[in-house]
Amino acid sequence: MPQYRRFTADDAIQFANQHSELFGEHSKLTAVSFGDNHMNQVFRVKNQFNTSLIVKQALPFARGLSDRWPLTLDRSRLEAQALLNFSKAAPLRVVEVLHYDPELAAILMEDLDHLVLLSSALNEGRQYQKLGVQVAEFVANSSFANSDFALDLSAKKSRQIQFLNPEPLQISEDLLLNDPFSNNERNQIDASLYPLAQHLWLDEQLQAKVAALAASFRSKPQTLLHGDLTSRSIFVTADDLKVIDAEFSGFGPIGLDAGLFVGSLMLHYCLTPALQPDVIKARDQQNYLHNQIKLFWQQFQQQFLENCRQQCRDPLFGNELYQKQFVADILHDLTGFAGCELIRQIIGTFKAPALATIQSPAVRLQVCQHALTLGQRLILQHQQANTIDQLLSWLPTGSAQ
């Protein structure tokens, strides 16, 4: 059994060629390292006919991150198994895992170079009309398949043990629920935002709501989560969508994945007027994002409840009134976690990269103010959020020009 070593390009070529029949005996293979990743290295292995695969290898350290976050290489196995798990529940919506080696902490996957990264596409003002429905399909089906509705007690507990992933989950908790709400040295805050940030740090009501969300994150193991379901973990075309990067997977509240996705779309909504100089096009893009959030929730709610009606295995959870209340509670969690994601992207350790592309300090400040104000409201009122229209009514109406 091979011992761990950090791959070179030649190692990536050998790994891809050994574990796939895609290339053929006479292929001339090259490998290029790409991506700016703190926890992994990623290679694209390609032959002379431009047929390619991706090799992703976990690193035994987190480049540029806190010493508080030690990492085990076992997270590579957990990511591969999570992607395989999700692909059974939502087979059309997950990147295909071809092979993984737990000793080398390496995964061989299909190459999604025919798709585009959702975050980049939305920053450019592109629109994908199936986006909300397709992400809802992934979240509803994958979360149901790993929930109490689909698994008996023994199977659920066994799966929780299988996907025990404490180190990445600690990073998630710190980045989303701890650092942005305290004067932490890891935060990246523009001087102009300090007054707003300090207001968040000193708001006792806000801190109490964040603590409640943190308790939910820790102690509500409703399903196996993707854990980082933002626009930077989704590849799209007009008809296709694939989810990648499940290394932060673990059991937690269903509203986390849903909230991260909605929060990332809300951030794009706040960014749009600053990234799109044409006022009419900017308004159209915001309307598009507004509608995709609504479609996401409507489709998720419909699909999850339909799964409950048709596939619920435990009579204890077969009551329709309970199922509807369960989904209503997901909306509450979604709202709060969406607010946390907005605030994290503005003053957290890894800010939204698009902010750096806004040339005007005044416009950038206005975008940040809108996002922080919206995030704060979502957190403070997350338990009162009863409809998706209520959430959408809180989106800012001012424009940044």
For 142-164, the pLDDT digits (tens) are 999 999 999 999 999 999 999 99
Question: Quick count: other Cβ atoms within 10 Å of Cβ 92?
Answer: 11
Query: What pLDDT is stored for residue 66 in this prediction?
Result: 57
CA angle 163, 166, 167 (to 5 degrees): 125
Query: What pLDDT is stored for residue 400 in this prediction?
Result: 46
Phi, psi of 295 (to 5 degrees): -60, -40
Nearest one of 181, 170, 143 to 379, comparing CA atoms: 181
Residues 96 and 186 in one domain: no
Answer with the one of 110, 128, 144 that is the final residue of a domain.
110
What whole-number percentage of the chain has pLDDT above 70? 97
Query: What pLDDT is stored for residue 60 in this prediction?
Result: 87
Domain range for 160 is 116-392
pTM (predicted TM-score)? 0.95
Answer with the one of 110, 142, 171 that is the final residue of a domain.
110
Residues 324 and 197 in one domain: yes
Residues 21 and 120 in one domain: no
**Is 90 exceeded by the pLDDT of residue 37?**
no
Mean pLDDT of 125-140: 98
The span from the CA of 256 to the CA of 142, in Å, is 13
The span from the CA of 169 to the CA of 178, in Å, is 12
Residues 280 and 348 in one domain: yes
Residue at 100 is within a domain: yes
pLDDT tens string 319-342 = 999 999 999 999 999 999 999 999
Tell me whether strands 250-252 and 223-225 are parallel, antiparallel or unpaired.
antiparallel
The span from the CA of 39 to the CA of 315, in Å, is 43
Answer with the one of 110, 140, 164 that is the final residue of a domain.
110
Q: Which residues contact 269 (CB under 8 A, 6 or more apart)?
A: 286, 289, 290, 395, 396
pLDDT tens string 191-213 = 899 999 999 999 999 999 999 99
Residue at 399 is within a domain: no
Mean pLDDT of 273-297: 97
**Is 70 exceeded by the pLDDT of residue 233?**
yes
**Is 50 exceeded by the pLDDT of residue 227?**
yes
pLDDT tens string 1-22 = 679 999 999 999 999 999 998 8
Residues 189 and 216 in one domain: yes
Residue at 400 is within a domain: no
Residues 120 and 81 in one domain: no
**36 band by pLDDT with thresholds 50, 70 and 90:** low
pLDDT tens string 61-115 = 776 665 667 788 999 999 999 999 999 999 999 999 999 999 999 999 999 999 9
Residues 120 and 92 in one domain: no
Residues 124 and 30 in one domain: no
Residues 62 and 190 in one domain: no
Mean pLDDT of 241-258: 97
